[in-house]
Amino acid sequence: MKAPLPDDWAHWLGAEFEADYMASLKRFLADEKAQRKEIYPHSSNWFRAFELTPLSDVKVVILGQDPYHGPHQAHGLSFSVQPGIPVPPSLGNIYKELASDLGVRPVGHGHLEAWARQGVLLLNTALTVERGNAGSHRGKGWEPFTDRAVEIVSAHAKPCVFILWGSHARQKKALIDRQRHCIIESPHPSPLSAHRGFFGTRPFSQANAFLQAQGRAPIEWQLPQTP
């Protein structure tokens, strides 16, 4: 399971593919496939977040939990779905907050690749899931890998913004150097928790203000109308 990582990610993450936990994860995934279980996303997209956002380009990190577990949704970017798939409820709430925060026009798709190409690392803490079984691959070995990725951003990226939505993402604060980076946290944008403090937090304008204060270009959060 060698990933086609950009050179700067490969420099810091390459050794993780030889770690014991990764060997255990490989065995687990092979067993799942042997049982003919459907795994999302396709293996070609497991490391898509790293491919689209090299370490040197990272400006914002948005942490998700595990991929969407419905057919044709997940493609390796947290909160994002493939073109032609309805916008999931959590992402719909993210769009509402974007409109309130920056006047960004909601789009009719949920494909966030345009953000990733600008330096928004859309990273899930588990990179695979079984079809129809949310959380099924948590604790199987992905978390040490993605935790290491967060640590690498903290230690080696230019000052950037970590957006932590929900208790799961907020647990990663200990991995981040607060002296160098901006941490924005709130309840999760899911329908169950968005009204408990997600709406009105203005994370996108806060992120851009920090980037500009660091002499970095802001993110253009307005997505194209067609992916």
Catalytic sites, residue numbers:
66
Strand locations in the chain, DSSP E?
A: 39-40, 60-64, 120-124, 129-130, 161-165, 182-186
Give φ, ψ of 40 to 5 degrees.
Answer: -115, 145
- Region at 139 (left for phi over 0; alpha for psi -120 to 50; beta for the rest): left
Q: How far apart are CA 30 and CA 25, in angstroms?
A: 9
What HEC string does 42-66 produce? CHHHCCHHHHHCCHHHCCEEEEECC
Give 107-142 as a 3 state SS string: CCCCCCHHHHCCCEEEEECCCCEECCECCCCCCCCH
